[in-house]
């Protein structure tokens, strides 16, 4: 392969609207949406998966799955697609994720941008509890949410800070309506693609 994959990381708290906006970005700009959480949930469901229990434990506790697992799922999905550009949603979430990505993937990829969906805790919690009524997700409940928000604060914010220092971050005010957030996201992507 001659050209590097283009990557936009999408970060923010649980319920900040990453997945919702990624669907719209994919449609409008053609970046393939890969949700790390969805890939982990898919892997967990596989009958012969030896790591299913380990993944479920982390998801329920709001802790982070070891990078070897997540990174290899992401890399596989990238190779299996015919796309050149990817939106990686919900990763890297901590220093282990960041170091593992840099080790395994930095030679193959160019990080074009990091979108940071900044949203207040109260809005995040309300959205996830609403989603929990229909999502069937084992972590959209109050107890898991407290842990997820803690992990986000302690482990993910420093990753965002790291990319801030590299001047790669675009921050989005995410506690607005879907349409208002989209207007902001679209403007940022138009620049990325120009
Ligand atoms: N997760 C992980 N590593 C990742 C992405 C997700 O360990 O790179 C786990 C983690 O336990 C997290 C859960 O999957 O709390 C759900 O992540 P998801 O991104 O789906 O949640 P969201 O932030 O979209 O609500
Ligand atoms: Mg999500």
Q: Is 90 exposed, middle or buried (0-12, 13-18, 19+ CB in 10 A)?
A: buried
Predicted local confidence at residue 156, as pLDDT:
98
Ligand 1 atom, smallest distance to 59 CA = 11
| Residue 86 confidence (pLDDT) above 80 | yes
Q: Say which residue the tokens 């107890």 belong to.
A: 143
pTM of the prediction? 0.96
Buried (b) or exposed (e) across 123-141, using 16+ Cβ within 10 A?
bbbebbeeebeeeeeebbe
Ligand with an atom nearest the CA of residue 91: 1
pLDDT digits (tens, 9 = 90+) for 5-64: 999 999 999 999 999 999 999 999 999 999 999 999 999 999 777 899 999 999 999 999
If one residue of 59, 101, 131 were mutated to test the ligand 1 pocket, choosing by the most ligand atoms within 8 A of its CB, it would be 59
Beta strands in 83-148 (DSSP E): 85-89, 109-118
| Arch. (CATH architecture) of 5-188 | 3-Layer(aba) Sandwich (3.40)
pLDDT at residue 50, as a whole number: 82
Ligand showing the shortest atom-to-Cα distance for residue 16: 1
Tens of pLDDT, residues 119-178: 999 999 999 999 999 999 999 999 999 999 999 999 999 999 999 999 999 999 999 999
């Amino acid at each position: 392969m001659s050209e590097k994959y283009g990557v936009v990381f999408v970060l923010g708290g649980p319920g900040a609207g990453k997945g919702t906006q990624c669907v719209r970005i994919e449609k409008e700009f053609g970046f393939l949406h890969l949700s790390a959480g969805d890939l982990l949930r898919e892997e967990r469901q596989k009958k012969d998966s030896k790591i299913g229990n380990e993944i479920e434990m982390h998801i329920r506790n709001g802790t982070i799955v070891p990078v070897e697992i997540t990174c290899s799922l992401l890399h596989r999905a990238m190779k299996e697609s015919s796309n050149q550009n990817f939106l990686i949603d919900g990763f890297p979430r901590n220093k282990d994720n960041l170091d593992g990505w840099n080790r395994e993937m930095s030679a193959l990829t160019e990080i074009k941008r990091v979108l940071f969906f900044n949203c207040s805790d109260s809005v995040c919690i309300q959205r996830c509890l609403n989603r929990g009524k229909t999502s069937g997700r084992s972590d959209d409940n109050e107890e898991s949410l407290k842990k997820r928000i803690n992990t986000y604060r302690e482990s993910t914010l420093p990753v965002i800070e790291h990319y801030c220092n590299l001047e790669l971050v675009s921050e989005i005010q995410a506690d607005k309506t879907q349409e208002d957030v989209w207007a902001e996201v679209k403007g940022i992507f138009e620049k990325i693609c120009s």
